[in-house]
Structure 1
Amino acid sequence: MMSSGTFMDLVQHEFMVRGSWRKLNRVRLSRSWCVSYILIVAAAVVIVTTYLAARNDLELSSFWYMTLAFPYWIFFLGYGAVKREWSNDTYGWWLTLPIPRFRLIAAKWLGNCLKVWIAMIAIYIALSAYVLILTSAIDHYTYDMAVSFMITGINWLTVVAGLTPFIIAAGMLTISVMYSTAKPLTPLLWILFMGGFSIVYSNMNEYLLPEGRLETAGPATFFPFPWELPAIIIGSWAVAYGLIRAVTYVMDKKLDL
Structure 2
Amino acid sequence: MTSIIILSDTHIVAEGALAYGHSDTAAALMSAITTINTRLPELGPVEGVLVTGDLTDFGTEEEYRRFATMMQRLALPWWAIPGNHDRRGPMRSVFAGADWLPASGEVNWQRSFGDWELIALDTLREGAHHGELGDEGLAFLDAALSRIGTRPALVATHHPWMASGIAAMDADNLHDGAALMARLEAHPGPVRMISGHVHRTAFAQIGRVPCQIVPAPCHAVHLDRRPGAENCLALEPGALTLISHSSEQGFTSMQVPVGHVPGPWPFGEV
TM-score range, shorter chain: under 0.3
Higher radius of gyration, 1 or 2: 1
Q: Which has the higher contact order (CA 8 A, sep 6+)?
A: 1
* Structure richer in strand, relative to its length: 2
* Structure richer in helix, relative to its length: 1
TM-score by length of 2: 0.25
